[in-house]
Structure 1
């Protein structure tokens, strides 16, 4: 099955995390929490743990995000986790990764497995696609 949606970031809050020891690199690492709102065939919200190494001067970096989604895919209500990652050199999206965490589904989404994708349109619209199966 496939569910297409758009999303907006309701909040983005940098988190203060102190590593076991400091390593200085050319792309500072950081952590933030986010709340996203989804509309379309996937409707609801997610709580996101967002980590990145990003150089604001060059626009180059990589992120990894773990999201806990609650809402509906088509007419099925429940919750599940998904993980995604990508790299940019400023104007592109390279090496994308996206997976629905097996065993994380609840309610009518129990048994969900699959993958997906994230894209950003030229006008800044954020899109997500869930390619999933229910076991």
Structure 2
């Protein structure tokens, strides 16, 4: 099944977790985020977000783990979604991976698996598309 959602980040808070002591060309940061989803995914996610990103050049990579609670196309439960992408200063997301973590589904989402993509529209709207199966 294919479903599409939009989401907004309602909280983005850097954490007190210290970044690595090794100095590199892009600083590493860790943050906690809260997101609200609307559409095929309807609910809330708490996200652990790690990135190595140069804000001046718009170059970097992030890795995120979402803990989602709500509904997926009307089925209620929780699940984890892992995603990563790289930017090279242009508008495109490179090396993107979005995956529903196997075994993470609860409630009516037990056995859910799949993956997808995230895109950001020109107006700043964030969209997540998931291709998934249950059971």
- Partners of 2:117 and 2:133 in 1: how far apart? 15
Q: How far off its partner does 1:75 sit? A: 1.2
Structure 2: tracts of 5 or more residues without a match: none
1:132 alignment counterpart: 132
Shift of 1:89: 1.1
Q: State how 1:26-41 maps to structure 2 within 5 Å.
A: 26-41=25-40
SS at 1:108's partner residue?
Answer: helix
Q: Which residue pairs with 2:48 in the alignment?
A: 49
Tell me, which stretches of 5 or more residues in structure 1 are unaligned?
A: none
Q: Match of 2:61?
A: 62
User: What TM-score results when the alignment is normalised by the length of structure 1?
Assistant: 0.96
- What is the Cα-based RMSD across aligned positions, in Å? 1.0
Paired position in structure 2 for 1:108: 108
Whole-angstrom CA distance in 2 between matches of 1:11 and 1:47: 9
Equivalent residues, number: 134
Q: Distance in 1 between matches of 2:57 and 2:74?
A: 43
After superposition, what is the alpha-carbon deviation per residue over 1:82-122, rounded to whole angstroms, capped at 9, x for unaligned? 10000001222111011100000000001101111100001
- After the TM superposition, list the runs of 4 or more consecutive aligned residues in structure 1 that deviate by more than 3 angstroms: none
